[in-house]
Structure 1
Amino acid sequence: MSVRLPTGAGVGFKPEHFDAMLADPGPLAFIEVHAENYMGAGGRPHAQLAALRERFALSVHGVGLSIGGEAALDKAHLARLRALLDRYRPESFSEHLAWSSHGNVFFNDLLPLPYTAETFARVADHVAEVQDVIGRRMLLENPATYVRFEESTLAEVDFLAAVVARTGCGLLLDVNNVFVSAVNHTTDARAYLAGFPLEAVEEIHLGGHDADRDETGAPLLIDAHGAPVAEPVWALFAEVIARTGPLPSLIEWDNDVPDWPTLRAEAERAAGTLAQPVRAAA
């Protein structure tokens, strides 16, 4: 499926913004919704989404497939996802490089993976299965992580590039996740982005994080999606766009949701960055 999101700014849709978004859409080129919030048959959620779909391009973002889990993918969940995508025909579908279930236990977190040959084979098989079931290319999102695994034999960027090469999927680059992980592991976010397979990126996420300290007093960032995008993340975003040119770029704000003018202003700032000139290759 070759349809893609327009190269502009988007926001994650929240029901409290419905009327304001229709009356004053500002810079919005697209909206994004979490798949699991729309797997029911009808009601107000679907009525609102149907109305918005008439106005905006749509990205559907999954949080429940557990792509990295050891167990087989949930066939019933996949069937519900296929029905949702068939119903709204979004320009994009994405999921996380993470796991969130084990057996019959479902966690309210997106949990990290060791980057090994065994994990790669499992993730690649799961991505291929998802794409076969939904009949379209999916995007895989880089995670925000708080621990690393000694058994990892691949760098995260190499792992993602290998999944793309094996399955033909695309990538969703979450710039806030890059920054959060770099601070938590005392690594270089710019070095990570220098090795990231940007040619496979079809969407960017920007969100806020919370700052804390771990038990040793070291900085610990939490990917909380409850605050404005931080200045270092805006700077990294600008550097990426200078290299790639404009890409569909989403403001994620899922907790402590602000009023519409505040969220609209974040989208306007993203749109402004997307309008900047592309840097010539060295």
Structure 2
Amino acid sequence: MSDLIHSIPARLGNAMPERAGIGLKPDHFDMILEFLPDIGFFEIHAENYMVDGGPFHFYLERIRSHYPLSIHGVGLSIGAQAPVDEQHLNRLKILLDRYQPELFSEHLAWSTHQGHYLNDLLPVPYTQKTLRHVCEQIDHVQNRLGRRMLLENPATYLEFNQSSMSEAEFITAIVRETGCGLLLDINNVHVACTNHNQNSLNYIHALPLDTVGEIHLAGFATDHDSDGAPLLIDSHDAEVAPQVWSLYQATLALTGPRPTLLERDGNIPSLETLCAEANLAEQILLSQHHSKGEQRHA
């Protein structure tokens, strides 16, 4: 872990409230500013705002003045063999400096190769060599940005024969080595563990839960592999499934309340529908707040 990260606060600016938020979608810009719904925070994808001006910034500046903000990157390709794209990193720093979000996160994945961008977040083998490389990448990103980042656990559809450690062990080693935090995507846990015939709760217990800075919830699509076994796809185009809600409750019992994002990137419903789903998460978070308070006074 670099010395610089030791001197950087875990969150810059105000701390993110332990509430539920939703992704900020252009479909809802005007309605958000007109009605200012009671929502915990908004999250944007960084790459959609890597321009100097335009309508996205026009609206984000106004919405940011009313709400906490989480910025979620999808294009750093931290797991790629090549170094991080410095131009992309520079654009990211400009964006973060401009809006000073409460949280910034990226994926444990790769999506670039020899200058080409791939339309997917692809997995890495869990080896010592990959671990060293990913840690070096994260150290560089955090030092360049001047802030801690959260690293999201992946949704995976295959496993590498050469992996020498479990995914949870790999993530734990990264977090302890670099000082980054964990974005715990509960839907990704359910998808990956179902696809690999693993126990979701055992996976979560093995993670560095003390470093969870944000939780993601989302919907998935169901398919079958060539053997007829269930194959779940992290689609972000449906409401949160009952299994994911149950896993979320079990996780909060371990972590305590954490800022929670309801992700929807396809089949975007009305703002009212998204806020209603976020309210379900808010009720679960509220019950955890009450439980934590009762434990303190016991």
Task: Assess same fold via TM > 0.5.
Answer: yes
User: Which string of whole-angstrom CA distances, capped at 9 and with x for unpartnered residues, describes residues 226-249 of structure 1?
Assistant: 000000000000111122211100
Map of 2:211 onto structure 1: 200
Q: CA deviation at 1:22?
A: 2.8
Q: CA deviation at 1:19?
A: 2.2
Map of 1:52 onto structure 2: 63
Over 3 Å counting, the alpha-carbon distance change for 1:236 and 1:27 in structure 2 is farther
Percent identity over the alignment is: 50
Equivalent position to 2:90, from 79, 95, 110: 79
Q: TM-score, normalised by structure 2?
A: 0.92
RMSD: 1.3
User: Which string of whole-angstrom CA distances, capped at 9 and with x for unpartnered residues, describes residues 57-102 of structure 1?
Assistant: 0000000000000001100000000000011111111000000001
Contact kept, 8 Å, 1:27 with 1:267, in 2: the verdict is no
Q: Which amino acid aligns with 1:254?
A: D
Local SS of the residue matching 2:41: strand
State how far apart, in whole Å, the 1-side matches of 2:61 and 2:161 are. Answer: 47
Structure 2 counterparts to residues 135-150 of structure 1, below 5 A: 135-150=146-161
Equivalent position to 1:269, from 277, 280, 297: 280
State how far apart, in whole Å, the 1-side matches of 2:44 and 2:281 are. Answer: 19
Equivalences, count: 281
User: Which string of whole-angstrom CA distances, capped at 9 and with x for unpartnered residues, describes residues 101-121 of structure 1?
Assistant: 011111000000100000000
State how far apart, in whole Å, the 2-side matches of 1:29 and 1:36 are. Answer: 22
Contact kept, 8 Å, 1:95 with 1:138, in 2: the verdict is yes
State how far apart, in whole Å, the 2-side matches of 1:268 and 1:27 are. Answer: 9
Structure 2 counterparts to residues 46-195 of structure 1, below 5 A: 46-195=57-206
Map of 2:271 onto structure 1: 260
Q: CA deviation at 1:18?
A: 1.4
Equivalent position to 2:252, from 221, 228, 241: 241
Q: CA deviation at 1:25?
A: 4.2
State how far apart, in whole Å, the 1-side matches of 2:269 and 2:284 are. Answer: 22
Map of 1:28 onto structure 2: 39
Local SS of the residue matching 2:195: helix
State how far apart, in whole Å, the 1-side matches of 2:91 and 2:280 are. Answer: 35
Q: Which amino acid aligns with 2:121?
A: L
Over 3 Å counting, the alpha-carbon distance change for 1:262 and 1:269 in structure 2 is same
Q: Which amino acid aligns with 1:71?
A: A
Q: TM-score, normalised by structure 1?
A: 0.97
Q: CA deviation at 1:29?
A: 1.2
Q: Which amino acid aligns with 1:272?
A: Q
User: Which string of whole-angstrom CA distances, capped at 9 and with x for unpartnered residues, describes residues 155-214 of structure 1?
Assistant: 111111111111110010000000000111111101101111110100000000001111
Q: CA deviation at 1:20?
A: 2.3
State how far apart, in whole Å, the 1-side matches of 2:201 and 2:24 are. Answer: 30
Contact kept, 8 Å, 1:100 with 1:106, in 2: the verdict is yes
State how far apart, in whole Å, the 2-side matches of 1:242 and 1:162 are. Answer: 23
Q: Which runs of 5+ in 2 are unaligned?
A: 1-8
Q: Which amino acid aligns with 1:105?
A: H
State how far apart, in whole Å, the 1-side matches of 2:193 and 2:156 are. Answer: 9
Q: Which amino acid aligns with 2:108?
A: L
Q: CA deviation at 1:141?
A: 0.3
Q: Which moved more, 1:22-31 or 1:12-21?
A: 22-31
Equivalent position to 1:228, from 212, 223, 239: 239
Q: Which runs of 5+ in 1 are unaligned?
A: none
Structure 2 counterparts to residues 8-23 of structure 1, below 5 A: 8-23=19-34
State how far apart, in whole Å, the 1-side matches of 2:101 and 2:113 are. Answer: 29
State how far apart, in whole Å, the 2-side matches of 1:122 and 1:88 are. Answer: 30
State how far apart, in whole Å, the 2-side matches of 1:28 and 1:39 are. Answer: 25
Contact kept, 8 Å, 1:209 with 1:226, in 2: the verdict is yes
State how far apart, in whole Å, the 1-side matches of 2:128 and 2:218 are. Answer: 31
